[in-house]
Structure 1
Amino acid sequence: MLKAELRKKYILKRKALSTDEAFLLSEKIFENFINYFKLEEGMKIHIFLPILERKEINTQIFIKYFLEHQVRVFVPKVIDGRMINIEISENTQFETSKWGIPEPVSNEDSNEAFFDYVITPLLYCDEEGNRIGYGKGFYDVFFQNISLESKKIGVNYFNPSEVIDDVWENDSPLDYLVTPADVLSFFKGLE
């Protein structure tokens, strides 16, 4: 299927989830992540902040755990059409962007280019690790500007079941996908 068709389909599938279902599935995704990926103090993780009204994966569960375990947490913020990375702590102040995304009040870019893990938002991911987001391309540009050693991890309520027919040359596939049922590896390098 084409990205536009899959985007519509999975937006509707996500909307069909109740708030309770979305939270319980987010907890299962978090548990699968923690059980699969080994975290160490001082690791650097880039993670998106969820738009809970759109029933995105509740990454607040992840962020709370990371901060409690001295994992460094970086979140995106879009300024003048460009995504920057801001390191956060328990004391970080947030505001809601024009897209309804929670973002730090600070505009101080960390300029960090290496992350142990980049937990990536998506609407759908196929069996090759190709992802579909909201179509703005922020993460495709971001992936081109970070270390190739940073592992890109998608989180989604749904396992892959359909092929994305219109993958573009500049699309960056994920290394892993974490769902409530599985952790799938697309990683082609040495682990």
Structure 2
Amino acid sequence: MTKAELRITYKKKRSQLTETEINSLNAGLLQQLSKFDWKDVHYLHTFLPIAKQNEPDMWSFITNIKIYSPAVHIVVSRSEPKDHSMKHFLLEDRIELAENAWGIIEPMEGETIAETALDVVLVPLLVADKAGNRIGYGKGFYDRFLAKCRPDCRKIGISLFDPVEKIEDVGPLDVPMDIIVTPRLIYTIS
């Protein structure tokens, strides 16, 4: 299937999940993410979920990291719609967060962190294929962002759904994931 077909299919699938199903899937994601060893990670970038889109709930993961891996610095982004870029901020207790026009909770200001400082980026996705290619919302924010990260930065896609076999129209600017985490399994891309 193409990106456009998969985007329509998986947005619909995600929108049809019940609250009970979402809670169960989020619990599975948290369990899978708890299997990672975060001790060598200094800066971990995560997304803040769009609740109305039934995106994976990363708040529980953030809480776990703060409790069990307090040396890890959590980084979150603010979208810059004018140029489809992202600006990254250290997630501190005192940081002011606000909802943007797309329903994304974002930092207003704070200590900025360069893409090259990031050790791991957790990437939201609707679905991915078995080669690590991802389907997001189609604006290219994450591909532009990930292209600026160090080559050794681990890119971990977070999805409520298992990967599909293949995305037909992967482009040269698409940045594949190194790992896909789903509520059932962790897929390491070779």
Q: Give the count of matched residue pairs.
A: 186
How far apart in 2 are the matches of 1:42 and 1:158?
A: 26
Contact 2:116 2:148 in 1 (8 A): yes
SS in 2 for 1:113: helix
Contact 1:50 1:58 in 2 (8 A): yes
Aligned to 1:53: 52
Amino acid at match of 1:64: T
Aligned to 2:175: 172
Instruction: Indicate the percent of aligned positions where both proteins have the same amino acid.
Output: 35
Offset from partner CA, 1:107-138 (integer Å, 9 cap, x none): 65322413221100111100100001000101
Q: Which runs of 5+ in 2 are unaligned?
A: none
Q: 1:161 to 1:78 in 2, by over 3 A?
A: closer
Contact 1:19 1:55 in 2 (8 A): no
Contact 2:87 2:112 in 1 (8 A): yes
SS in 2 for 1:127: coil
Contact 2:89 2:107 in 1 (8 A): yes
Report the RMSD for the aligned CA atoms in angstroms: 1.5
TM-score normalised per structure 1 = 0.92
Q: Which runs of 5+ in 1 are unaligned?
A: none
Contact 2:76 2:91 in 1 (8 A): yes
Cα distance, 1:89 vs. partner?
Answer: 1.6
169-178 vs 104-113, which moves further:
104-113
How far apart in 2 are the matches of 1:115 and 1:138?
A: 16
Contact 1:2 1:164 in 2 (8 A): yes
Runs of 4+ with >6 A deviation: none
How far apart in 1 are the matches of 2:157 and 2:111?
A: 26
SS in 1 for 2:89: strand
SS in 2 for 1:31: helix
